[in-house]
Structure 1
Amino acid sequence: MSKIFQSIRAYIIPVKLSEYEVGAYTHLIEKHGGKKCVKQGESTHIFTILKSSTRISRNVESHQVPVIDIQWIRDCDKKQQLLPIETYTIITDRKKLRSSSSDHDALVPSLSLLTTSTATTSISSGSNTDILNRRFKDSPPEDLPFSDESGSTRRGEGENVDLAPGFINTKYECLRPTPYEPKYNKKLVSLLLLLERKRQIDNELKRSLSYRHAISAIKAYPREIQSSKEAEKIIGVGSKIAEKIKVFLHTGTIEEADQLRYDEEFRTISLFNKVFGVGATTARIWWELGYKTLQEVLDNAKLSTTIKLGIELLPDFDQMMSQQDVKEIIDIVTKEVVSINSECFVVPVGGYRRGKTKNGDVDLIISSKNAENMRGFLNKLTQRLIEKDYLKHKLWHSTDIKNLAHAERPSSVGGRQQFDNFEKCFCAFLQPSTGIHRQVDLICVVNPDELATAILGWTGSRQFERAIRDYAKKEKNMSLNSQAIHFEQNGKKNRFVVHSEKDAFDIIGMPYLEPEFRNC
């Protein structure tokens, strides 16, 4: 265990911090040999998220102890070394809080001695707690996910009206490879994504779906679109979207989408919609009630326990995970699964399996070749993860609602449609190396005959899954879900035996696509 905090007795001012945030910082302090104090009088350092000297002074008993920006704890953990605290020390009213450099040196000489010469004094942007107080009025525009110079400088249409050679022009996105990041038309895709999200949060679901069809096709298109007539020939691009593409080709932007990047209402509702368990309707209600920040929602709205927890966890959940972060969590869960039963195993699915370099959550299927091994397994696993201090909160557990009346069951949880009957637990998982809570979704597949279709269904993307189900039904007279493939004949359903994902593609009669090309 690291000892970089061994000389530190820390008191954390709890104001503006949730219980789980205080717990996360406590975990980091103790992880590196420090001690969290219950009483300020026992501390050598006071940590706070507050910036106002007036507010700090109201919460500080001893004016002889340095008050430090709590971000210092995470930055030290990230660098695995003790960083200089001068730039983190909060300079306040000297009559109330003496935090000058001379006071600091006299009080904590050990910090100067322990800090190495390679330490950086810059404050990391890793902290995300400001998301709860984030306002969008007069703020800088939202960044585009994909952008390129060609998309922003073009002016005017070309004469070409023919489709690019080799492009698979089909209404079924599952029949062509689609990468996560488009090689061409990056800015156009980014602007259309904004328009699709606008339709989604306005509950215009059919229009949202139309945009998703167009976006999927353009992401897969093997060159820059040169004219609106060319765009109209792409299946999935209707006349209205083609008209927007025409404007884009002439101006380098789409005015409606560009305005959304600055729009306070759109951006605020989009942020509210990120909270676990909050749909577009609830997000809009909060806006219409006059709430402009999530902190205002916390302070004033009547919230369920789950949604309140979802808001408090968002500062962590909104921080994207690298593939290495995801692998760390996979390794931990796999170790605990095998320790319970060596015949059980873990299969990563979701965006990570599709090759995304940044992920918002981790989806893990747990299964075994022997169905008996899986009886009650998810309860055993979650209990073990709780005991090991990994699983901090159960956001949703399918067994918790199985006895409720159908009308009380949520049709979707955390933005996911519940299209299967697998036992699932969506949880807040504390990543040891960062002290950040991550959303980890555990899916328990009891029947080994359902494993292949479960992997196919939970790998995604959402649009790919929609397309492959449509293709199976409309072109092959088959029904497909995450549990089985059936062939419908004379009013009867005959179930196929599916041994692998490739087997599923063969049964449906489709060319196999590697997961990284299912990012429709």
Structure 2
Amino acid sequence: MPFKRPRPNPTQGGPNSESSSSRPLPAKQTKTSTAKGLPDMKIYIVQAKLDAESIATLTGLAERHSGVCRNAEDAEVLITAVSMRRRLERHVPWEIAKTKAVVTPQWLRDSIEHGGPLPCDDYVAIGDLHETTVQHCPDCNCKPCGCSDDSPSPTPPTSPRPRTAELSSSPTSLSAASVPEPAERAVYVPENLLPPDPPIPTKLETLDYTSRYACQRPAPLVCVNQSLVRELDTIRHSRWLEGEDRSALSYERAASVIKAYPHKIRSLAQVVKLPFIGTKIGGLIEQYLNTGTILEAETIKGSERFQTLSLFASIYGIGPSTARRLYDLNLRTLEDLEIYYGVERDDVGRQSQIVEVEEKPQHPRWMRGQRAADDGLGDSWIRVALGLREDLAKRIPRAEVEEMGRVVITELNDLKPGCVSTIVGGYRRGKRESNDVDIVFTHPDASKVKGLCKSLVRRLHERGMVTHVMHLSSFHTHDPLRLHHWDNLEKALTVFILPPTSPFYDGTRRRLDLIFASPEVYWTAVIGWTGSIMFQRDIRQWAKDKLGMKFDSSGITRRYDSKEFYPKTEKEVFELFGLQWVDPTWRNADL
């Protein structure tokens, strides 16, 4: 923090003056000190958050020692007490601010006292402008300065520095710079890429459990009507396995509404007016209230077909249509699948594959005919998943999820210091155990993100931590019509094993998905990959219905002109859509 000298009265040198009481004001200095300390420099003073006395004093200093501009566009240096981007934008266009050195008033005082412009690094006013301020700082672009051989290099007073990448108190967010590293490798990370500290609370009273949109309903991990939700979800799962997507969605929506209902359901009258509870589902709820079960759900659970299709679909790479095709071939067990696919389990365990697979674009729905027979990743990866099925079926405790995140970010730090990451998926929504681990990464410098996913995967593969890569894709060009099946982020879906040095190492292989997003879409990627499925689906629907926008993990686009929007934080995504903030632990709109 710079030493704050008492500010004497402009005429008496009292405690309210802008300059030090230990020396006279610039106007009263001796002749040897009246030369301009910042000759030929143009300064613009942003008056926001400055009182009249401070404005007058700063203006006087600038007029005596440099030059004062009336327009920010004409200045080289912008002096401001504002520390937030939004407030600065009320007074200076952001595009102009990015071409200037934007510093605090203390820079002007200390530079004048020093006799020349000081480096701006310690005086940056807006964290998001750190790099551009340092780039445009006039410290050594000016004529004579303190760099000459016969004068010692000045040591500028220290100021509070903007936050660099650091380990968040929240275990879901990690940064590469949280691992100790040489000082010369420290990378500045803007505040907006770090999680809010303290976390933003959810104001439950502002949310509406009767809304048609899951993104407006608070859905806990476990609700007071959980057993009813499970019964409905069994019917939904059966419809999904049979390819009856519209029916499956109806049950999914009904279960999502009940998940958010805050009271124990004891009569049908409580829920008949809730959205998506029609006559049929209302009848099923009434049956459950009378008997404690839903007959159709119990019948489905006892069905050999349902049990077999569910078993097949639990194998990574096998979707509903592939499961039905295998069932129609009279296959009934995983051992049958091993024979069908020619799986040698010992061989699969010893194999180590790293293959780049680009997701093929799909046509829009109106151009699609019948679904392809195989909706998975292909036979080769089904063989891998079958061979590793015992490991991949094991649930991952939260502590191990965090350890995986720590190990990966440590390796990433060696490749590209300054990356930040958030563990997403069910872990971020509060689940005690996860089926797999999803991590979203970015870097403050967008140019350094491209290709980083492949570099990290190869590094982990070389170190024996990634044994198989089931999908590895690059960034795609922006696709405002969303014609592709997936988002256009760079990602790798891998099989991961912790190193023997980890306290959690037991040789178990885990599913680990690595997702890389450019910094401007980092938080949309985090929201999309956090889920839940219904929550994300309804955010997309809300954006379309209410705002005419398209939303997915790749970004936000206005439909009629494809204009892109780049919210700086996760909360700003909600604000852009006119939604109340919902913490991830209240986004469990699915079972």
Q: CA deviation at 1:274?
A: 1.1
Q: Rate the CA distance shift 1:423–1:167 in 2: closer, same or farther, 3 A.
A: closer
Question: In the alignment, does 2:507 pair up with 1:428?
Answer: no
Q: CA deviation at 1:166?
A: 8.6
2:385 alignment counterpart: 310
Deviations 1:486-508 (A, max 9, x none): 334xx323322310110010010
Pairing 1:383-462 to 2, within 5 Å after superposition: 383-399=458-474, 418-432=485-499, 433-445=505-517, 447-462=518-533
Pairing 1:114-129 to 2, within 5 Å after superposition: none
Q: Rate the CA distance shift 1:167–1:225 in 2: closer, same or farther, 3 A.
A: farther
- Name segments (4+ residues, structure 1) moved above 4 Å: none
Distance 2:529 2:424 in 1: 6
Distance 2:471 2:256 in 1: 31
Deviations 1:95-137 (A, max 9, x none): xxxxxxxxxxxxxxxxxxxxxxxxxxxxxxxxxxxxxxxxxxx
2:542 alignment counterpart: 471
Distance 2:379 2:566 in 1: 43
Q: CA deviation at 1:481?
A: 1.8
Distance 1:275 1:260 in 2: 20
1:87 alignment counterpart: none
Q: CA deviation at 1:444?
A: 1.4
2:242 alignment counterpart: 202
TM-score, normalised on structure 2? 0.55
Distance 1:166 1:349 in 2: 23
2:268 alignment counterpart: 228
1:336 alignment counterpart: 411
1:504 alignment counterpart: 573
Unaligned runs of 5+ in 2: 1-205, 343-377, 477-482, 500-504
Q: 1:353 aligns with which of 422, 428, 442?
A: 428
Distance 1:210 1:471 in 2: 17
Q: Rate the CA distance shift 1:304–1:166 in 2: closer, same or farther, 3 A.
A: closer
Question: In the alignment, does 2:312 pair up with 1:237?
Answer: no
Q: 2:216 aligns with which of 169, 175, 190?
A: 175
Unaligned runs of 5+ in 1: 1-164, 403-410, 412-416
Distance 2:519 2:411 in 1: 20
Q: Secondary structure at the match of 1:421?
A: coil
Distance 1:166 1:331 in 2: 35
Aligned sequence identity (%) = 33
Q: Secondary structure at the match of 2:314?
A: coil
1:346·1:365 contact (CA, 8 Å) conserved in 2? yes
1:215 alignment counterpart: 255
1:231·1:245 contact (CA, 8 Å) conserved in 2? no
- Kindly provide the amino acid, as one letter, of the partner of residue 250 in structure 1: N
Q: 1:379 aligns with which of 450, 454, 477?
A: 454
2:92 alignment counterpart: none
Larger radius of gyration: 2
2:207·2:580 contact (CA, 8 Å) conserved in 1? no
Deviations 1:365-407 (A, max 9, x none): 12100012223211211111011111000111125x98xxxxx
Q: Secondary structure at the match of 1:443?
A: strand
Q: CA deviation at 1:301?
A: 4.3
- Kindly provide the amino acid, as one letter, of the partner of residue 295 in structure 1: E
Give the root-mean-square deviation of aligned CA atoms. 2.1
Distance 2:494 2:266 in 1: 46
Distance 1:419 1:171 in 2: 26
Pairing 1:256-267 to 2, within 5 Å after superposition: 256-267=296-307
Deviates more, 1:294-303 or 1:283-292: 294-303
2:207·2:218 contact (CA, 8 Å) conserved in 1? no
Deviations 1:304-332 (A, max 9, x none): 21111111122111111110110111011
Question: In the alignment, does 2:555 pair up with 1:480?
Answer: no
- Kindly provide the amino acid, as one letter, of the partner of residue 519 in structure 1: N
1:167·1:221 contact (CA, 8 Å) conserved in 2? no
- Kindly provide the amino acid, as one letter, of the partner of residue 221 in structure 2: Y
Pairing 1:281-292 to 2, within 5 Å after superposition: 281-292=321-332
Q: Secondary structure at the match of 1:492?
A: coil
2:562 alignment counterpart: 493
Deviations 1:111-164 (A, max 9, x none): xxxxxxxxxxxxxxxxxxxxxxxxxxxxxxxxxxxxxxxxxxxxxxxxxxxxxx
2:445 alignment counterpart: 370
Distance 2:381 2:274 in 1: 43
Q: CA deviation at 1:334?
A: 0.7
Deviates more, 1:506-515 or 1:313-322: 313-322
- Kindly provide the amino acid, as one letter, of the partner of residue 434 in structure 1: D
Aligned residues: 339
2:520·2:567 contact (CA, 8 Å) conserved in 1? yes
